[in-house]
Amino acid sequence: MTTKELKGQVIAVLANDREDTLETLPTDRLILTLEGITTDRHRGQTMRANSRQPFYERGTTILNTRQVSLVSMEELGFIQKALGIDYLVAGWLGANISVVNIPHFSLLPIGARLFFSSGTVLLNMGYNPPCTGPGEIIQRYFPDVPANRFPKVAHLKRGIVAMVERAGEIARGDTVRVLLPTQPPYPPEG
């Protein structure tokens, strides 16, 4: 099977190891182990189930498929314009990595692999549905924007979550190559 490849670039890397806020802050580089970003609150091979996993009892220990959050600067531009604000910061969404030049970034299929020029590889675990948390942060900077508007305008533009498949570092300016998985049709034809 052949795979389709996309290429982009890392514009910012961000992290936050505080539990009291979703907001991430820019840093020079991220160090990633198989547990995630060493300086981020989402690190760990496991996590506790929450409202995003309604099929498990809340608090159940499950595999952490949300070690890293990535967003597209082009999609953030769309959200910014739809909200009618002067600027939008990737850290307000809790993002760890912002990229450019990857079309329809939030719609990358589960299983797409992101190869960074440093050698680090992330495995896309899927779309990151928007919630009101980023809307509340945006409202602090733009009080006229209701927090509940963010989930509506960020629909299918919120970015993706990923797991670390190959440990390493990621820095601003790194290139990223995305390999899209080729899936047979389901159900199989014939």
Determine the pLDDT at residue 186: 78
Residue 180 has pLDDT above 80, yes or no: yes
Determine the pLDDT at residue 1: 43
Q: How far apart are the first and last CA of the chain?
A: 19
DSSP states of 69-106 as a string? EEEEHHHHHHHHHHHT-S---GGGGT-SEEEES-TTGG
Three-state SS for 16? coil
pLDDT tens digit sequence for 101-114:
999 999 999 999 99
Return the half-sphere exposure (C-beta side, CA atoms, 13 A cut-off) of residue 171.
Answer: 6
Domain at 4-180: CATH architecture: Beta Barrel (2.40)
| Nearby residues of 156 by Cβ (< 8 Å), 6 or more positions away | 106, 107, 127
Percent of the chain residues past pLDDT 90, beyond the cut: 83
Instruction: Please state the domain extents for the chain.
Output: 4-180
Residue 2 has pLDDT above 80, yes or no: no
| Confidence band for 187, pLDDT divided at 50, 70 and 90 | confident
pLDDT tens digit sequence for 115-164:
999 999 999 999 999 989 999 999 999 999 999 999 999 999 999 999 99
Stronger pLDDT, 186 or 116, i.e. the higher one:
116
Q: Among residues 173, 38, 23, which one has the least CA distance to residue 99?
A: 173
